[in-house]
Amino acid sequence: MAKEITDGNFEETVLKSNQVALLDFWAQWCGPCRAIAPIIEDLYNEYQDKAVIGKVDVDTNQEIAMQYNIRSIPTILIIKNGEVVDRHVGSTTKQVLKDKLDKYLA
């Protein structure tokens, strides 16, 4: 299961990590968020040794959502060395996310 990223563990898990992070900003009530949830789980299973794959519930972790100006969900951020290097808003495919992630793992 993808790592739950919270206001409390964000800095340690994402910003201080030496791995690239892919974060899915989502909410329980969001239909498109639920639609891409299996993709995020697949990515977690494939990349768990190479990248931090996590989910941020915007309803319970508003600090992170505000910090990264999340206005629409789902929003996927890719963070490398503490900086946002890619942002995708809305539904997408697994291949699109893999391509984006692979670009920053190389």
Per annotation, catalytic residue among 27, 30, 85, 89? 30
Q: Is 87 considered catalytic here?
A: no
Look at the block and give the residue holding tokens 């808003």.
89
- In a 3-state reduction of DSSP, which class is residue 46? helix
33 tagged catalytic? yes
* Catalytic member of 5, 14, 21, 33: 33
> Given strand 75-80, what is the order of strands in its sheet?
3-4, 51-57, 20-26, 75-80, 83-89
Q: Which residues are catalytic?
A: 30, 33
